[in-house]
Structure 1
Amino acid sequence: MNLRSSWVAETGQTREDTRLTQIGATNALNPVQVRSGILPGSYDGKYRLSGFWMTGSSAMSAVVSEGRAIVQGEISQGAYPVTLPSSEVVTFSPGNAQYGRVDLVVLRIYDKLYEGSNRNEAVVEIIEGVPEQTPKALPAPARSLPLYEVTVPAGASAGNGGIPWATSLKDLRTAVVSAGGILPVEGPVAPGAYPGQYQDTGSAIQRWDGGAWISYSSAIGGIVPNSASSTPASYTGQYRDGTGGQLQRWNGSAWAAAYPGPYFNDSLDGGYTTSTTYVNTLIDRADNPLSVTFTAPPSRAAILTFGSRMELSLATGTTGIASSAFMGVRVTQGATVVREPDDELAAVASKSADPTDAYSVATTQRLHSLTAGATYTVTAYYRSTNTNVRAWFDNTFLQITPQY
């Protein structure tokens, strides 16, 4: 057996044994003990955990690859560092004629100070399971680190195909790092040992808060990254980078745009009115009325911009009339009118007696004293100054830009 260990053998520990096993892996389990586990790493850097990897090598044998690990004993026994500097072959007993079984492959420390055996050594060992109709592995012995469960089918032997390695291995390996290191999670997730401990799940960094592992992106003030956008929110007011690249905020029940807007609506269809009072319906235009709905931001203020391409035309046989076209807006919150169309706040195009030029006109204003979180609707209204003058409106638009 070439598995090396420190401070187990009464005699014969070499300087090479000591050098190989001084691994500094002391990831805390509690104030006195450390976690048992395998040191992470691979030859090419592509894998998190390659130490003690096991793969089938023949019908009833498997190869356990080299690696370094630490096996924690009971609280008064200390931790045993071990190293397998070259691969080890393990061979399984033939299967039972009637039932399958599940064997457990472990790194095991024999220390005669704490057990009835007369052995002082570290070994890669198979804990053979009991053949049953529904087999399961036996518990791991004291001072051992589980590596794999291996299902041995009924009747498996070297002469009839052996163990189907592609489906029979269950990886139980767990990683361990030095104190303060970020632990790469492999296998079962164990509780943290102290608030502020970190682990890497492969998709998120997590911090132990004293009772649970909390994704780093879910910590107070953390923005959930796009790669973890399916992560549930931890609190109302948390932010995330949405899948569409939009910054979103958790409102207590759903993810919503953190900074909604701007809100926009327009019509490229032209229409006219001869009404001298404000109306929201234009003749010859299909999409009436033109409106836009928005949610008032926490600042209770928003920038309102609206406009149109306007033109004034006289009724047939009419000349010499100066006139104007007005575009205004009505602002409502539900059934409550917040603001009526007003000439002083309108976009205006005027003409003298007979010219029929077209004008592109827009205006920008500030809406204020809104109710934060309330829904408002802005609707376009139009009028002419003379019933004999058609006030035409084309390329009409409404835009609301919330202020944050």
Structure 2
Amino acid sequence: MNLRSSWVAETGQTREDTRLTQMGVTNALNPVQVRSGILPGSYDGKYRLSGFWMTNSSAMSAIVSEGRGVIQGDISQGAYPVTLPASEVVTFSPGNAQYDRIDLVVLRVRDKLYGDDRNEAVIEVIQGVPEATPKAQPVPARSLPLYEVRVPVGASAGTGGIPWATALKDLRNTVVSAGGILPVEGPVQQGAYPGQYQDTPDAQLQRWDGGKWVAYPQAIGGVVPNTVGSAIPGSYTGQYRDGLGGRLERWNGSAWAPAFPGPIFNDSLTAGYTTSTSYVDTLTNRTGALSITFVAPGSRQAIITFGSRIQLVGTGSGAGFMSVKIMQGTTVHRDNNDTYGVVCQSPGNIAVSTTQRLHTLTAGATYTVTAYFRTTNTALQAWFNNTFIHVVPQH
């Protein structure tokens, strides 16, 4: 057996054994014990955990790759560092004739001082009980589980063996030195002290606050790089991140939203007309109303610009007006008004626009701006083309 350990054998521990296994890993579990686990890392740095990786070598055998770990005994027994400097092959017994079973692969330290029949460190297959609903056997004392392996009915070298692609359940977890940031693999365990940190599989840094893991503000006061998509929540209201597509976003307490919404623009290049002397939001020859929505910023102010190319067609004198109605839900913030509108009194095509400041908005509220049109003479068709609305929230 290649698995090495320190301070287990009564005699025969070599200097090489000691050098291989003394790793200083003491990731706290409580004031006396440390967490059992495997040291993280991989040869190329691409993976969190490659130690004791298991893959098939034949129909009923698997290779356990090299690795280092720590196995914590009972509270008075101490921690056992173990190292596998070269890969090891483990073999599974043939499947039962009637039921599947689940075998458990563990790193196990046997210590005669605590009731075992021998002193050794070993990679062991603990065979499960064939059942209609199989489950793995309990993990023995001074053992670190690596994998569950489901052995199907009748599995053997002659029948194709274990379906390795679906049979393995990875149970490995990581451990680092005291004060280190733990890269989480496997089940999330509770922290040992407030101020302990861990890095989750979705790249979120978390801090143990004494009762739960809390997402830690990334780059406090700065902009969080968005490298993991939009699913990761913010750590505090007012946190900023570089959103997808390079858009700066702010965490509002429940969702990421544009930090600086706007500018908002909408237009219609279709000409339409009205003969109505009261304001209407639809025009003959044009489908639908022209409107936009925006969220009022903290300043409660926005700049609005709107306009159109207007032409009067018909007999007699008169004018064509374009105005906007601004609504907050069902509440009118500003109604149509000739004074605030744009006007044309010419039979020729005249492009007119106006820019105004909106104020006394409710910060965070959503407003809808809709274009309205009218003529002052029912004998005149007031035509509107190249119509637009543009809102820039002031931050």
TM-score tier by shorter-chain length is 0.7 to 0.9
* Distance in 2 between residues matched to 1:124 and 1:109, nearest whole Å: 9
Deviations 1:276-314 (A, max 9, x none): x66336875434764444443332221111112234567
Where does structure 2 lack aligned partners over 5 or more consecutive residues?
Answer: none
Q: CA deviation at 1:136?
A: 2.2
Distance 1:93 1:285, change over 3 A: closer
Deviations 1:363-401 (A, max 9, x none): 111011123344544444556677887654321222222
Matched, 1:359 2:362: no
Partner of 1:347 in structure 2?
Answer: 342
Partner of 2:231 in structure 1?
Answer: 230
Between 94-103 and 193-202, the greater mean CA deviation after superposition: 94-103
Q: CA RMSD in A?
A: 3.7
Partner of 2:27 in structure 1?
Answer: 27
Amino acid at match of 1:33: Q
Q: Secondary structure at the match of 2:104?
A: strand
Between 265-274 and 72-81, the greater mean CA deviation after superposition: 265-274
Deviations 1:95-131 (A, max 9, x none): 44544433222211122222253x2221222223334
Matches within 5 A, 1:82-161: 82-117=82-117, 119-158=118-157, 161=160
Partner of 1:265 in structure 2?
Answer: 266
Instruction: Give the conservation status (yes or no) of the 8 Å contact 2:321–2:338.
Output: no
Instruction: Give the conservation status (yes or no) of the 8 Å contact 2:106–2:144.
Output: yes
Q: Secondary structure at the match of 1:82?
A: strand
Partner of 1:3 in structure 2?
Answer: 3
Distance 1:53 1:347, change over 3 A: same
Q: Secondary structure at the match of 2:172?
A: coil
Q: Secondary structure at the match of 2:105?
A: strand
Between 392-401 and 88-97, the greater mean CA deviation after superposition: 88-97
* Distance in 2 between residues matched to 1:103 and 1:45, nearest whole Å: 31
| Identical counterparts, % of pairs | 69
* Distance in 1 between residues matched to 2:127 and 2:289, nearest whole Å: 80
Partner of 1:303 in structure 2?
Answer: 303
What is the TM-score normalised by the length of structure 1?
Answer: 0.80
Distance 1:339 1:250, change over 3 A: same
Q: CA deviation at 1:205?
A: 2.1
Amino acid at match of 1:30: N
Partner of 1:200 in structure 2?
Answer: 199
Matched, 1:399 2:390: yes
Distance 1:285 1:68, change over 3 A: same
* Distance in 1 between residues matched to 2:98 and 2:274, nearest whole Å: 93
Q: CA deviation at 1:80?
A: 1.1
Q: Secondary structure at the match of 1:113?
A: helix
Q: CA deviation at 1:2?
A: 2.5
Q: CA deviation at 1:225?
A: 3.4
Deviations 1:149-174 (A, max 9, x none): 23334554555554444443332222
Q: Secondary structure at the match of 2:169?
A: strand
* Distance in 1 between residues matched to 2:376 and 2:166, nearest whole Å: 85
* Distance in 2 between residues matched to 1:327 and 1:155, nearest whole Å: 82
* Distance in 2 between residues matched to 1:397 and 1:35, nearest whole Å: 65
Q: 2:362 aligns with which of 345, 361, 371?
A: 371
Amino acid at match of 1:227: V
**Aligned length in residues:** 392
Instruction: Give the conservation status (yes or no) of the 8 Å contact 2:282–2:372.
Output: no
Instruction: Give the conservation status (yes or no) of the 8 Å contact 1:237–1:251.
Output: yes
* Distance in 2 between residues matched to 1:260 and 1:121, nearest whole Å: 65
State the structure with more CA Rg: 1
Partner of 1:338 in structure 2?
Answer: 334
Q: CA deviation at 1:261?
A: 3.4
Distance 1:33 1:219, change over 3 A: farther
Deviations 1:9-46 (A, max 9, x none): 23222211111112222222122221111112223333
* Distance in 2 between residues matched to 1:56 and 1:288, nearest whole Å: 65
* Distance in 2 between residues matched to 1:283 and 1:106, nearest whole Å: 77
Q: Secondary structure at the match of 1:17?
A: helix
Amino acid at match of 1:270: A
Q: Secondary structure at the match of 2:114?
A: coil
Where does structure 1 lack aligned partners over 5 or more consecutive residues?
Answer: none
Distance 1:349 1:43, change over 3 A: same
Instruction: Give the conservation status (yes or no) of the 8 Å contact 1:229–1:240.
Output: no
